Structure formats: C-alpha cells, structure tokens
C-alpha cells in the first residue's frame, strides 16, 4: 500500500463547500524545528486529497448498525472461497533474498555481487531515488496499515490469530506486503546512493506518527480506501520499474515490477470485496463510497517527516509528479476505473433516497477533478522552477 503511494501527493485540499485551496502544511505538526535549509514550497502538486466540493452531507454511516456488522461477518465463507485464493503461501512466494546479493557465498563472491549492484545503481538520477525512497518508506509502515484494517467492525481480527477468513486475509496480506519494504530497503542500503540514517529516521517517525485516516471510519469506507490505494501503488511501482530499466538497472526494474504484480493481486481482492458489498447492500455501499470520496483519499505516508523537514511529503509529491510516476490525472483515472469496475452508474436497488444523491456525486466526480486539473496546469505554467533539498539524498539540490 502506498503510496500508497502510493500513492502520493498533495497540495490541494478542500476547505469549504465550493472552494479549493493550497495545502501547504501538514495536518499534523511534530514539535520539532524546521532546519534552516528547508524551503517552503507553494507550487501546485498532484492531489492526495482530491475530492471536489460537497453539495450537502449524505447519510452518516459512521457507526455501522448491528445488522451491517452481522452482514459482514456472514460473508466469512464467501471471503474464504473468493478472496483467500488471491494469497500465495510462503513456500510459493518470492522473498527479498531472491533479488539480492547472496550473503551465504564466500566473501569475495558476495562482494562481487554487491559491486555489480552498485555499478547498476550508479547512474540512477536523484529525482528517481527520491521517488523510490518515498515508495520504500510507505511500504515500511505496513504495521500501521494492518492496525487500520483491524479497526474495521465485522472484519477485524478479534484475537490476533483468529482462523476466520477475514482475519486470515488481514494477516496474510500484511505478510505479503512486508516483503516490499524489506526488499527495497536492503537494495538501497547496498547501493550506497542514499542516506540510510535519514531514511530510517523517516520510517521510524511515520510508524510512530501513524496515518491520516477519514473521520468516522467504517468497514465500508475502509475497503473503498484500500481498493483505491492498492491500484495507486500498482501504478506507481509499475512506473518506477519502467524508469529503472530505462536508467540502466534491469534488476531494480524486475524488483519494482514484481512488487507491482503483488499490488495488482491485492487490488483485485479489495475491489472484489467492495463489489460484494454493493451486491448485498447497495444503499450502504454507495453511501460508503461517497462518504470516503467526500472526506478525501489521503495518501498513507502523508504524515512522513525526518524530524527536520516538515514539508517532506510535499517535496516527495512534487518529485513524483515531475517524473510522471503519480499525478492528478491518475487520481481521476482510478476513480473512473472503479466506477466502471463496480458498475456504479447502473447500480439499482436503493432503499434510501439519499443513495441516489451519493451515486450522482460519485459518478460525476472524475469530471470535476479533470476540470480542477486543467486549472492547476494553467497555474503551474506560470510558476518558475523551484529548488529543494531532501535529506534522503544527502541534501543534494533538486529542481522541480
């Protein structure tokens, strides 16, 4: 999950109905000083909170009724038959060591493999390294995402080792995701191209801080969020794979592509869950989707910082957009994909009049975002290139 990466990115935030404003500060501010080298960037970036203005609130489903909780629990058998097959057992899964220098070899052979890795990564540009590190940090906070899922009523693991299919999914999904951060971390460590102490500090801070999540979190909204995020991370890892191959590191390209394939499986699983919810509870399902989108899809690493730079996520976002790894266009594309995947325009069977309002809002959202994108691009054309320094690459200067 990303970045989810992916996400990734945001300087756009909804402040009040009918208005958009630049988001230039974190929603959470650690009580630490900003280093003198830190520059505040006001340049427009892709939105990680890209929901358009709300017309009026729809029905609040912040507290799931006992009936809905029981409905989710009743899907245990369906989850076992239709969702758990998306998982792979450990003995049939790739592991980080499959892609790394073999430390069990004699020292000279191991060192030779490390030197080959360093030669491959020597030509990777700083902007690419920043994006890759941001992806790594997002993946390393998987414990936060597991705790997120374990707060969802009707789904959460009640014991920590429950054999219920929902619980098995949460733990096994976490185990698969855990490999992503492990692999990228070790690869970048061996490359010698990045500032590992600052990266490790950022990971520590992100896990300690947690993630910005929607208010009144419900199971329906939680599964919509993961459906979106897994597709976003599939897109970003796929593009970093392509860029790695272009820039002379086919092994790194293979690594990112392998991670992207995992994200694609996970995306399909979460989207299938929401698909089932819409089948058995179309009214609650469409309202959950609308509420999630009105409250904004905030990227899971939005609160990252390195104890010095409070604009770190915004800096990362700008670089991500510059390389075309994740943009506001992707946000709209993902929404259109989900609307089509879940057949939301044709959804019927509502037992609440406000469900129709929610359906209209969701299906009209991509058009509003694309209009926003056009205005943002016009403003961006008038802005001069700006520079930043990011600790992950030893504060070397980047221009965006």
* Cβ-contact 274, 342 below 8 angstroms: yes
* Cβ-contact 231, 334 below 8 angstroms: yes
Q: Which residues share a beta bridge with 12?
A: 22
Question: Any residues with CB less than 8 A from the CB of 374 and at least 6 apart, and which?
Answer: none
Q: Which of 24, 94, 157, 242 is catalytic?
A: 94
Let me know if 263 is a catalytic residue.
yes
Report how far residue 284's alpha carbon sits from residue 390's, in angstroms, rounded to the nearest whole number: 44
**DSSP, res 21:** E
Let me know if 230 is a catalytic residue.
yes
Let me know if 91 is a catalytic residue.
no
* Cβ-contact 135, 3 below 8 angstroms: yes
**Is the Cα torsion angle 248, 250, 256, 257 positive or negative in sign?**
positive
* Cβ-contact 355, 311 below 8 angstroms: no
Report how far residue 378's alpha carbon sits from residue 119's, in angstroms, rounded to the nearest whole number: 41
Let me know if 262 is a catalytic residue.
yes
Q: Which two tokens stand for residue 58?
A: 């729809």
Known binding site: residues?
Answer: 139, 177, 180, 230, 263, 266
Q: Which of 5, 13, 180, 237 is catalytic?
A: 180
Q: Which residues share a beta bridge with 399?
A: 387
Report how far residue 5's alpha carbon sits from residue 229's, in angstroms, rounded to the nearest whole number: 7
Classified as helix, coil or strand, 398 is: strand
* Cβ-contact 44, 374 below 8 angstroms: no
Q: Which of 139, 182, 306, 330 is catalytic?
A: 139
Known binding site for Fe cation: residues?
Answer: 139, 177, 180, 230, 263, 266
Let me know if 67 is a catalytic residue.
no
Let me know if 291 is a catalytic residue.
no
Q: Which of 5, 13, 237, 266 is catalytic?
A: 266
Q: Which of 127, 140, 177, 182 is catalytic?
A: 177
Let me know if 377 is a catalytic residue.
no
Report how far residue 84's alpha carbon sits from residue 25's, in angstroms, rounded to the nearest whole number: 40
Q: Which of 140, 182, 262, 291 is catalytic?
A: 262
**DSSP, res 33:** P
Q: Which of 226, 233, 236, 320 is catalytic?
A: 233
Report how far residue 347's alpha carbon sits from residue 103's, in angstroms, rounded to the nearest whole number: 55
Write out the catalytic residue numbers. Answer: 94, 139, 177, 180, 230, 233, 262-263, 266
């Amino acid at each position: 999950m990303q970045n989810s990466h992916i996400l990734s990115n945001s300087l756009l935030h909804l402040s009040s109905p009918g208005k958009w404003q630049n988001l230039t500060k974190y929603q959470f501010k650690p009580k630490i000083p900003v280093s003198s080298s830190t520059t505040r960037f006001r340049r427009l970036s892709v939105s990680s909170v890209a929901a358009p203005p709300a017309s009026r609130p729809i029905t609040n489903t912040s507290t799931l009724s006992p009936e809905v909780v029981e409905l989710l629990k009743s899907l245990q058998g369906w989850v076992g038959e239709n969702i758990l097959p998306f998982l792979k057992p450990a003995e049939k899964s790739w592991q980080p060591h499959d892609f790394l220098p073999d430390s069990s070899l004699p020292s000279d052979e191991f060192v030779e493999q490390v030197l080959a890795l360093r030669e491959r990564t020597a030509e990777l540009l700083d902007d690419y390294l920043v994006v890759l590190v941001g992806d790594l940090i997002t993946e390393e906070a998987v414990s936060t995402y597991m705790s997120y899922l374990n707060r969802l009523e009707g789904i959460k693991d009640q014991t920590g080792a429950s054999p219920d299919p929902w619980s098995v999914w949460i733990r096994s999904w976490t185990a698969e995701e855990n490999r992503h951060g492990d692999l990228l971390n070790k690869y970048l460590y061996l490359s010698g191209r990045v500032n590992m102490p600052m990266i490790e500090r950022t990971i520590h801070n992100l896990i300690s801080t947690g993630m910005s999540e929607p208010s009144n979190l419900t199971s329906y909204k939680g599964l919509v969020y993961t459906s979106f995020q897994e597709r976003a991370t599939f897109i970003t890892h796929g593009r970093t794979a392509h860029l790695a191959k272009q820039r002379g590191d086919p092994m790194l390209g293979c690594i990112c592509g392998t991670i992207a394939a995992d994200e694609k499986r996970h995306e399909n699983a979460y989207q299938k869950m929401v698909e089932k919810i819409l089948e058995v509870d179309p009214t609650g399902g469409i309202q959950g989707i609308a509420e999630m989108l009105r409250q904004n899809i905030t990227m899971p690493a939005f609160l990252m910082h390195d104890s010095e730079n409070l604009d770190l996520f915004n800096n990362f976002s700008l670089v991500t957009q510059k390389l075309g790894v994740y943009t506001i266009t992707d946000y709209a594309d993902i929404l259109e994909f989900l609307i089509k995947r879940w057949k939301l325009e044709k959804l019927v069977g509502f037992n609440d009049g406000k469900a129709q309002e929610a359906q209209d809002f969701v299906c009209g959202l991509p058009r509003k975002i694309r209009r926003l994108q056009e205005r943002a691009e016009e403003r961006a054309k008038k802005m001069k290139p700006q520079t930043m320094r990011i600790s992950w690459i030893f504060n070397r200067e980047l221009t965006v």
